Amino acid sequence: MARWALRALALGLLASGCGRAAPAPPPPVPACTTWWRTGEPALDRLLPLVKKTLTAQERELEGRTGRVVGFAADEARPRFRLREGARLVPLVRWLYPRERVAGWLAEHLAHQRGDSSLHDWIAAGPPEEFRADSPQVAEIWRRGPEAISGDRHTTVADQESLAVLAGWELFELYGPIWLDSAVAGRPLLDRLDAALLSVTEARRDTPTGLVVTALTADGGDLSPVHADQNALYLDERTPRVGGLYGNAMALQAARRMEEMTRAGARPLRARAWEGTASRMRIDLRQALYDPQRGYFRPYRLMPGPQPPQELDVAAMLALAGNTMAARAGALDDGERLRLFAEIDRRHHERGVTLSGLSLLPPFPTGFFAHPLLREAGSYQNGGHWDTVAGRLALARLEGGDAAGGATQVRALAARAVARQALHEWHTTEGEGRGNPRDAATAGVLGTAVLEGLLGLDWSRDLSRPLHARVVFQPRLGAGRARLEVCVPGEPVRAGYDYELNAEALRFDYRSSADAARVAVLLPPERVAAEVTLNGVPISVVERRVGNDRYLALDDAPAVGELRARLLPRKP
């Protein structure tokens, strides 16, 4: 008997013992597909646009691990960029079979460099095809006529952190067996462990504890000293910094490595990563957090070559870095809310309603020699990025400012759907720039809706990592919605029917997981009363995160019908 049917039978026995009829089992799924309906046109039309964008970027190559299928960053060549691929994983793991979601990461790890670091990108073809964009590209593998080229942008050190974060997303869904799968003769988990060590140990500055990179714009990879593509590489002319973005990424990755090594039965490595994460959080706060201003400074300059201009670095708010720091647990509830308020204030000062300007203020015109960043407000030097805005909205939804995050997600979706385009970035006036079918933008905005607003996730019990738990945490507010998730080729099903108004909550959910964790965002002015699960009165916890309150069930059955009356909240 199928697991879903067994769960429905068990639930029926439970209900019959209470003198009630069991809820009807979910209808059979005619085709394996993920979809949602909220009644909001922008949100409901975003997923088809996202899928269309991803389809346009589907590519494949023959590599060391065999046939690799995935999504390219651009339409010209089958180039698999690690940054873009990692940003896609949280969404595409719900839409595509495992080989399309995880194969590109295994191929990247199969070409791990001698120091265990990773390439920025790999592509089919000889180096000469890519030399104009990447002067230091090299052939990294060949089998007969088939060659793979790759390059590493040495200005930055987020490649390994992103690989770990992508690996963690896949571990959550596929389980610990995936971590033990062999990649070029070595367990995948060991490759991720070694990759992150190449950052947290080999690139760490002892006096400050910070990971050292080149000076770049927040989240970017171009240094200020070269006007051509040599700006991608750290050399004797390049100023060095302990940068916020790279260190926040490494902190979050260290936390995830602790979880994965614990689940992978490597207790010594788990304790080591736990210590590393704790140390990195302290070092990051001591070196870069400004309690007077309420945010992290973008970088701390290291000894060596100096920047082309002297700047008031403390006055610059780096959006991507601060967002990653908030999501990595470097701020408490009050500090996160203060950060979000400061971000809003600075955007409003500039007359911008969508919070996605990468730097507030940007580097001055002429600070960067490269033409992409030379003008203030251009590209990574203060342009508006939906990938940044989407991750910020997700941080707000998760971090206690659901109202602000939901407003931003809805506005981002409305702009994308109205234009039928997902641009790489926008000018401060809102004009789209770069690829209008940008896969990373599609992934981040889709994730902001699915994980942020609709509140779907999948997790593992680290004491029993084969035990899967579905997480339902809708933050939709008043209205109705339906969500259905089916992962092709995996025994993963989940969905719910949601209705909330001023008087009542109805939340019917189902999944193929072993258990569920449910947390429904409550309206600010209402409290839950007379709560039942499958017709049985239950006691629930009202959990507070920042400004938000949730009706929470931490240990719920995998299928259930949750009901509650909503009463006025006492002042």
> Confidence class of residue 167 from pLDDT cuts 50, 70 and 90?
very high
- The answer to whether residue 522 scores a pLDDT higher than 80 is yes
| Percentage above 70 pLDDT, the chain | 94
Beta bridge partners of 435: none
Most distant CA pair in the chain, distance:
77
- What is d(CA 235, CA 437) in angstroms, rounded to the nearest whole number? 34
What stretch of H or E contains 263?
Answer: helix 244-263
> Confidence class of residue 77 from pLDDT cuts 50, 70 and 90?
low
- What is d(CA 374, CA 222) in angstroms, rounded to the nearest whole number? 11
Beta bridge partners of 151: 121
- What is d(CA 167, CA 173) in angstroms, rounded to the nearest whole number? 10
| Helix spans in 297-419 (H) | 319-327, 333-349, 386-398, 402-419
Residue 384 — φ and ψ, nearest 5°? -95, 125
> Confidence class of residue 175 from pLDDT cuts 50, 70 and 90?
very high
The mean of the pLDDT values for the chain is 92
> Confidence class of residue 41 from pLDDT cuts 50, 70 and 90?
very high
Question: Which amino acid would we find at residue 399?
Answer: G
**Nearest Cα to Cα of residue 499 among 480, 477, 522:** 480
- Across the range 454-474, mean pLDDT stands at 94
Instruction: Give residue 75's pLDDT.
Output: 61
- The DSSP secondary-structure symbol of 527 reads E
Q: Which domains does the chain have, with CATH numbers?
A: 3-30+457-568 (2.60.40), 35-453 (1.50.10.10)
What are 379-420's pLDDT values in tens digits? 999 999 999 999 999 999 999 999 999 999 999 999 999 999
- Across the range 227-247, mean pLDDT stands at 97
Instruction: Give residue 14's pLDDT.
Output: 33
**Nearest Cα to Cα of residue 319 among 222, 384, 367:** 384
Instruction: Give residue 571's pLDDT.
Output: 76
Dihedral (Cα; 100, 102, 108, 111), 10-degree rounding? -100
Instruction: Give residue 18's pLDDT.
Output: 36
- What is d(CA 19, CA 29) in angstroms, rounded to the nearest whole number? 30
pTM of the model: 0.93
| Residue labelled with tokens 């940068």 | 243
> Confidence class of residue 5 from pLDDT cuts 50, 70 and 90?
very low
Higher pLDDT, 462 or 402: 402
Query: How many Cβ atoms sit within 10 Å of the Cβ of residue 185?
Result: 6
Instruction: Give residue 12's pLDDT.
Output: 38
- The answer to whether residue 540 scores a pLDDT higher than 90 is no
- The DSSP secondary-structure symbol of 449 reads I
Instruction: State the Rg of the chain over Cα.
Output: 24
Query: How many Cβ atoms sit within 10 Å of the Cβ of residue 293?
Result: 14
DSSP one-letter string for 7-72: HHHHHHHHHHHTTSPPPPPPPPPSS---EEE-S-HHHHHHHHHHHHHHHHTEEEEEETTEEEEEE-
What are 317-345's pLDDT values in tens digits? 999 999 999 999 999 999 999 999 999 99
Task: Give the chain's length.
Answer: 571
Dihedral (Cα; 375, 376, 382, 386), 10-degree rounding? -40
Beta strands 515-521 and 464-472 are parallel
Instruction: Give residue 463's pLDDT.
Output: 85
Distances (CA, A) of 194 to 15, 51, 197, 254, 261: 50, 34, 5, 12, 12
> Confidence class of residue 280 from pLDDT cuts 50, 70 and 90?
very high
- What is d(CA 77, CA 234) in angstroms, rounded to the nearest whole number? 26
